[in-house]
Amino acid sequence: MRIYKKYIDNCVECPLYSWGWCSELSKKISHALAKVQVDRECRLEREKRSKPQNNYYWGVVIDILSKEWGYTKDETHDLLKVQFLTEKNPGKPDRIRSTTSLDTKEAEDYYFAIRQWAISEWGINIPEPNELENETT
């Protein structure tokens, strides 16, 4: 708000300034902004999960676990979403996020949690993406 006010108050070349409208406009804007209540949280905008991330998830993570457990890939995917993407909302039913809603950081955190859980709970090692790249070179 101060930056906007500073900009308006310093617009000496503007004809509105010479007529005294800028300071009046600034007051009206400041008054209006003071009444505004922000009800949204600030969040860093990130890219949606990438195609290579999605390929790694389905081609490595889901493939390995579905073969180990004897479930279809879709069943394995659903089980992992329930395990790791369930959001608890007090007073409301739990919500299970879709993997398509994950940004690149959230997707990597999701895959990391799955890898840790798979090795500690099931003894299943899921290679990291960079480990796969090293095997092909």
135 has pLDDT over 90: no
Q: Which of 48, 40, 45 is nearest to 98 (CA)?
A: 48
The per-residue pLDDT for range 62-120, each reduced to its tens digit, is 999 999 999 999 999 999 999 999 999 899 999 999 999 999 999 999 999 999 999 99
For the chain, the structural domain boundaries read 2-35, 51-136
Identify the residue whose tokens are 């993407």.
Answer: 85
Q: Measured between alpha carbons, how far is 116 from 125 in angstroms, rounded to an integer?
A: 9
Q: List 103's β-bridge partners, or say none.
A: 48
The per-residue pLDDT for range 15-29, each reduced to its tens digit, is 555 555 556 666 666
Q: What is the pTM assigned to this prediction?
A: 0.64
pLDDT value of position 49: 85
Q: Which of 51, 52, 49, 80 is nearest to 64 (CA)?
A: 80
Mean pLDDT across the stretch 49-59?
94
